Amino acid sequence: MDHSIQVSPSIRTKEGDEWKNRQVPSRMPSRIAQIRLVSGHPEVYEPCDDSFALVDALLADRMYLLEHKPVLCMEVGCGSGYVITSLAIMLGQGEDVGGIHYFATDINPHAVRVTCETLEAHGVHAEVICDNVASSGLEKRLGGKVDVMVVNPPYVPTPEDEVGRDGIASAWAGGENGRTVIDRILPVADKLLSDRGWLYMVTLTANNPSQICLVMREKGYASRIVVQRSTEEESLHVIKFWRDPDLQVGAAKDPSMATTQRTTSAVVMDSLLSQFPLLSFWRNNNNSST
Ligand SMILES: C[S@@+](CC[C@H](N)C(=O)[O-])C[C@H]1O[C@@H](n2cnc3c(N)ncnc32)[C@H](O)[C@@H]1O
């Protein structure tokens, strides 16, 4: 099966049961994955703009990912398997860059089945388990071992009682500010990531991404936005986190550091904005709310 295509279209298309990715910037390799929908279930999240944004972020970082030489890649909340399969293919599963292990987890058993079928259809091997990442005890097995983690979490603001429900609701219900599941995943990610681990996470403006960056900064992670995408309905960001030895872990937890914390927040925001002028509306929103 040929996993790679020359990419030229500038928008994403769905042809029959097949998804095609967006245009790859010219500095990126033009060989990307073409993932086929071989299976599905009404209770399983079909790849959507957020899934595509996450894969586009991974594509944008593909050369860095290859140089990074991850040993263990993991997806939390794999849904249809579109993202983990794309990641494995773009990192050359089946080609001469072996040695990468893939691991995926989802709380929804139907998603686990669909992911397994997607992986299998594309010749990708991964271990897929049905588990709630927030209470799974995965740390015993994978603690400090994950070099690349990808997450498209349930981020939609909803009433708290919708979080963790069975079925498709678990794909989007994010609780207050869409942060309930995200805030459960962040400490787990910190425990699972290796010293050189990278985390790619999809967030929505309503999730307060700059505050998420701050939370991770307190754990010693630097961050940058890899992809930002706005629609009429929402503004998505894919943020990459990595450990920065120069950051003082937990510094902002000290009340005497309150001023520093505010300063840090501003620095994080400025850093994000300076990289992405399109996000200047964040600054406007921020100013109007303070
Ligand atoms: C927005 S969907 C993303 C699916 C897929 N990764 C994609 O991008 O198309 C979120 C996924 O996270 C799963 N999920 C929600 N809470 C979870 C938890 N606590 N542990 C593991 N998976 C979870 C959902 O079942 C759903 O499949």
pLDDT, position 136: 74
% of the chain surpassing 70 pLDDT: 72
Instruction: Classify the C-alpha dihedral 83-175-111-185 as positive or negative.
Output: positive
Task: Give Dmax (Cα) for the chain.
Answer: 59
In terms of phi and psi (left: phi > 0; alpha: psi -120 to 50; beta: otherwise), the region of 270 is: alpha
* Per-residue confidence (pLDDT) for residue 97, from 0 to 100: 53
Q: Is 87 left (phi over 0), alpha (psi -120 to 50) or beta?
A: alpha
**Ligand 1 neighbour 108 (Cβ under 6 A):** yes
Query: Which residue in 278, 221, 290 sits closest to 252, CA to CA?
Result: 221
Q: What does the pLDDT look like over 185-225, one tens digit per residue?
A: 999 999 999 999 999 999 999 999 999 999 999 999 999 99
Mutate to test the pocket of ligand 1, among 41, 73, 106 (most ligand atoms within 8 A of CB): 106
User: What is the C-alpha separation between 227 and 242, in angstroms, rounded?
Assistant: 16
- Higher pLDDT residue, 18 or 277? 18
Per-residue model confidence (pLDDT) at position 110: 96
Banded model confidence at residue 159, pLDDT cuts 50, 70, 90: very high
235-243 and 221-230 as β-strands: parallel, antiparallel, unpaired? antiparallel
Are 149 and 98 a contacting pair, CB within 8 Å? no
- Tokens 């909340």 correspond to what residue? 77
In a domain, 208, yes or no: yes
Whether residue 172 has pLDDT greater than 90? yes
Query: Which protein residue has the closest C-alpha to ligand 1 atom 15?
Result: 170
* Residues 201/204/205/206 CA torsion (nearest 10 deg): -120
In a domain, 242, yes or no: yes
Query: Which has the minimum average pLDDT: 6-10, 102-106, 172-176, 244-248?
Result: 6-10
pTM of the full structure: 0.81
pLDDT digit string (tens) for 35-56? Answer: 888 888 999 999 999 999 999 9
149 lies in some domain: yes
Say how many CA atoms lie within 13 Å of 59 toward its Cβ.
27
pLDDT in tens, 100-134: 999 999 999 999 999 999 999 999 999 999 999 88
Kindly give the distance from the C-alpha atom of residue 172 to the centroid of ligand 1, in angstroms, as a whole number.
8
Ligand 1 centre and the CA of 91: distance in Å? 22
Does residue 88 sit within a domain? Answer: yes
In a domain, 260, yes or no: no
The one-letter amino acid at 166: D
Q: What stretches of 24-100 adopt beta strand conformation (E)?
A: 31-33, 35-36, 72-76
- Does the pLDDT of residue 278 top 50, yes or no? no
Say how many CA atoms lie within 13 Å of 260 toward its Cβ: 12
Query: Measured between alpha carbons, how far is 100 from 92 in angstroms, rounded to an integer?
Result: 9
Please report which confidence band the pLDDT of residue 68 belongs to, taking 50, 70 and 90 as the band edges.
Answer: very high
- Is 24 part of a structural domain of the chain? no
Q: Specify the ligand 1 atom closest to the Cα of 134.
A: 19
Q: In the structure encoding, which two tokens stand for residue 207, read together?
A: 């999730």
Give the pLDDT confidence score for residue 18 in this predicted structure.
55
Q: Is 168 close to ligand 1, i.e. is its CB under 6 Å away?
A: no
Query: What mean pLDDT comes out for the span 228-232?
Result: 86
Instruction: Tell me, yes or no, whether 289 lies in a domain.
Output: no
Report the pLDDT value the prediction gives residue 36, as an integer from 0 to 100.
Answer: 86
Give the pLDDT confidence score for residue 137 in this predicted structure: 84
Sign, CA dihedral 153-204-52-100, equals: negative
Domain count for the chain: 1
**CATH number of domain containing 67:** 3.40.50.150
Considering the domain boundaries, does residue 189 fall inside one?
Answer: yes
Q: Residue 51: give the domain boundaries.
A: 39-249
pLDDT of residue 234: 80
- Average pLDDT over the chain reads 80
What confidence category does residue 242 fall into, taking pLDDT thresholds of 50, 70 and 90? very high
Q: Which atom of ligand 1 is nearest to the CA of 108?
A: 25
